[in-house]
Amino acid sequence: MKKLYFPSQIYDFEKSLFASGIDELGLMKDAANAAAQWIISNLKQESFIILVGPGNNGGDGIYIGKYLIDHGYKVYFLRVLKEKTKSNLTIAAEKDTKNHLIALVDLDDFNKQETVIVDAMLGIGGRETISNEIKLVNKIANTFEHKIAIDAPTGLNALSGKASEETFLATNTLTFFGYKIGQILDPGKNFTGKMELLKLNKNIDEEMTEAANLFSFEDVKDLLPKRKLDSHKGMFGKMAILAGDAGYEGAGILASAGALSVGAGLVRLLSQESAVIPALSYLPELMVSGSDNPQDFKDDIKSAEVIVCGPGFKDSYWSEQLLYMAIESAKENNQTLIIDAGALRLLCNKPFQDTDLPSKLILTPHPGEAAALLNLSTEEIQENRLSASTNLATKFKASIVLKGHQTVISSNANYICNEGSPALSIPGSGDILAGIIAGLIGNKLDSLSAIKLGVAVHGRSGTEYSKNFGDRGLDAKTLIGLIKKNIN
């Protein structure tokens, strides 16, 4: 699991180092020396071009070049943005070393396989909007085979992950102290190449709480304990799936299948009468109750340990009543409540806006549902998914699963899952995920562990399908089979 930081946190950490007595220029030299040592240890080329910007990133580049020269390498320096004011540290670096400047037109004279381009133009202070000069430099630099970015490729926003189409396309990025969140988010991660963290013997995590944690299936796959030989179904939870209003009965069946796929003990689907025969035909191990009167489900809702509410809901009396009953039952009986899909949109309706929600609450919106909950546009949600997820967690005092590419989880901390593929863009995928999370809680995982493992196994199953078949054609039944395989 990788800890991710905002660029502002890196700046604050540096300020704390300087306040403790560490010399600014000395720290720049340490960073440059660590970068040069990595280059020497990992690259066989002996010719380098350092692209030097006016800020401190440029100073890093100057010292990197100096250390490479000291070790016998041929190094050329190309100054960019000459009209910009140089930082004091870059001025000091220039005084401390001799620069051999070359003209831009000379870049084409270098062997593009034997010469390494080093981007020390803007670093983490850069944005996705870059000047025509930088676009031209990057265009030529990107024709070289080996490209090293210092801290962040120029053209990448290290906060948002946004990137210019003309961003420096690094084969390796050498970043200092901690990973920056924009280096991990799309599309930014497509420009960083292989990330190398140089901590300089400084531990940022001792002073700063990370903005988010990046995790994969490998990080969480062992959260689910092995079953004892004397296990029985009563040990693995009792779930009530409130789902499948008229015309959307399949959503409840798929949510139930998701819960069963990860080993849920007892699963009861509470749906419309029209769902009973299809549900039992698809999942004979499922318990199903069907009625057009939500009050008929009161005892079944009360007896569950975990409630999933919302797959296949719509703006109807039946759906509204079931959501209200789920909320009240969860509060009265200390049950975990997972609100998904159509029920999330119902939360935006006036009857629910002033309703107190249960303490053990999980919301699993896709970007459109998140937008409705925060009264924003879907584009605004996608613009800053981490902020949207944390705002939802604060507003609803809940654990949040903001679905989509690089699913964001917000609970006591923020997590970003790097599993998944476009193959998961199918009907029922989210319904299955809600069921998975419920099933894992039934297996006695705490809510956060269940969410992380559920998101990861769901994403890994999509990735596996894409690897074997491609991004099209995945169906719910195949997805369930892959989940069963991966959870074991």
Of 76-80, 154-158, 262-266, 403-407, least confident by mean pLDDT is: 76-80
Q: Comparing C-alpha atoms, which of 246, 264, 254 is closest to residue 430?
A: 254
User: What is the token pair recorded at 453?
Assistant: 């493992």
Q: What is the DSSP string of 153-183?
A: -TTB-TTT--B-TT----SEEEEESSEEHHH
Domains of the chain: 2-8+25-206 (3.40.50.10260), 218-487 (3.40.1190.20)
Rounded Cα distance, 199 and 48, in Å: 24
3-class SS of residue 287: strand
- In this prediction, residues 317-337 reach a mean pLDDT of 97
pLDDT of residue 96: 84
- pLDDT band for position 100 (cuts 50, 70, 90): low
pLDDT of residue 423: 97
pLDDT of residue 107: 74
Pairing assessment for the beta strands 408-410 and 399-402 based on DSSP bridges: antiparallel
pLDDT of residue 103: 46
- pLDDT band for position 99 (cuts 50, 70, 90): low
Q: Comparing C-alpha atoms, which of 281, 192, 308, 285 is closest to residue 233?
A: 285
Sorted by sequence, the CB contacts under 8 Å of residue 179 that are 6+ apart come out as: 2, 3, 4, 5, 195, 197, 214
- In this prediction, residues 113-129 reach a mean pLDDT of 94
Q: For residue 215, give the amino acid letter.
A: F
> The tokens 């092995």 sit on which residue?
226
Rounded Cα distance, 175 and 21, in Å: 23
Contact 398, 392 (CB under 8 A): yes
User: What is the token pair recorded at 117?
Assistant: 């381009």
- In this prediction, residues 249-260 reach a mean pLDDT of 97
Cα–Cα separations (whole angstroms), residue 233 to 65, 183, 453: 65, 44, 21
Per-residue pLDDT tens over the stretch 344-390: 999 999 889 889 999 999 999 999 999 999 999 999 999 899 999 99
State the Cα angle at 248 between 245 and 252, rounded to 5°. 80
- In this prediction, residues 414-438 reach a mean pLDDT of 97
- In this prediction, residues 440-451 reach a mean pLDDT of 97
Sorted by sequence, the CB contacts under 8 Å of residue 477 that are 6+ apart come out as: none
Per-residue pLDDT tens over the stretch 13-38: 999 999 999 999 999 999 999 999 99
pLDDT at 102 over 80: no
Sequence length of the chain is 488
- pLDDT band for position 111 (cuts 50, 70, 90): confident
Rounded Cα distance, 367 and 209, in Å: 26
Per-residue pLDDT tens over the stretch 175-209: 999 999 999 998 899 999 999 999 999 999 999 99
- In this prediction, residues 163-184 reach a mean pLDDT of 96
Average pLDDT, the chain: 95
Q: Comparing C-alpha atoms, which of 10, 53, 384 is closest to residue 176?
A: 10
Contact 63, 25 (CB under 8 A): no
- pLDDT band for position 441 (cuts 50, 70, 90): very high
pLDDT of residue 29: 96
User: What is the token pair recorded at 452?
Assistant: 């992380």
Q: For residue 294, give the amino acid letter.
A: P
pLDDT of residue 394: 97
pLDDT at 104 over 60: no
Rounded Cα distance, 55 and 19, in Å: 21
Cα–Cα separations (whole angstroms), residue 449 to 419, 431, 434, 452: 16, 19, 14, 5
Instruction: Give the percent of the chain with pLDDT over 90.
Output: 92
pLDDT at 105 over 70: no
Rounded Cα distance, 48 and 414, in Å: 39
Q: Comparing C-alpha atoms, which of 42, 104, 103 is closest to residue 68?
A: 42
Rounded Cα distance, 176 and 70, in Å: 22
pLDDT at 282 over 70: yes
Longest dimension (CA), the chain: 84
pTM of the model: 0.92
pLDDT of residue 110: 84
Helix locations, 354-384, DSSP H: 367-374, 378-383
Contact 435, 397 (CB under 8 A): no
3-class SS of residue 394: helix
